[in-house]
Amino acid sequence: MNDSRIVFALDLPSLEGARAMALAVRDAVGMLKVGLELFVEAGPRAVALGEEARRPVFLDLKLHDIPETVERAVARASALGARMLTVHASGGPAMLRRAVERARKEGAGLEVVAVTVLTSLDAGDLGAIGVGGEVAAQVERLARMAWNEGVRAFVCSPHEAARLRAALGPDATLVTPGVRAAAAAGKDDQKRTMTAGEAVAAGASWVVVGRPIRDASDPLAAARAIAAEVEVARRGRA
């Protein structure tokens, strides 16, 4: 197992394509992310790609439902062998607490990861759904609430990583999507982005990378280049 801190997003529409890409880049990434598109297409078979590629799976389903439903889903994700599972922090204290407790009870090593504010949203978007103030303040508010319910891993944009690291300390695991190659920043639907090195320098534990690797002419070379950038940033932060 390598020590890469890249979570590679398997955002592909077919299991076959995801398998090919996972096997192609596994030597340069530390974890594989299975999101909604692939999970809806292939279900548990998508999670099984982690065992095939010998990489843990970050199951990014962003659960948000009543506590009982989420707790049962956590049990199933644990049985599938996922290493991390995302839930929306905005689901509230009871949902978060029961998710964490169920993951612990299952004893399979699944970690519940609370999603704070999606990287596609800005302050205007929050205002439209009735949340006032700046994005960073809402991210911290949700993270502190989740922390109090036992959550120790969080999804935030790179722009909030430093604030959450300062608020929660070294024991928090911070996963940052919205990571882009320097030349491609700002060219998609994510609004709060940084490069991988910038994200790690700001306090990220893991960086989620999809398109810069998936769409590269040589995905493995692209993954290795980003992994090297991350490692430099990690050494600089130490």
Q: Which residues are catalytic?
A: 62
d(CA 95, CA 204): 25
Asked if 89 and 96 count as a contact pair (C-beta separation under 8 A), the reply is yes
Residue 153 neighbours by CB under 8 Å, 6+ apart: 84, 111, 112, 113, 114, 172, 173, 174, 175
d(CA 24, CA 236): 29
d(CA 100, CA 153): 11
Q: Rounded to the nearest 10 degrees, how much is the dihedral formed by the CA atoms of 100, 102, 104, 110?
A: -80
Asked if 37 and 17 count as a contact pair (C-beta separation under 8 A), the reply is no
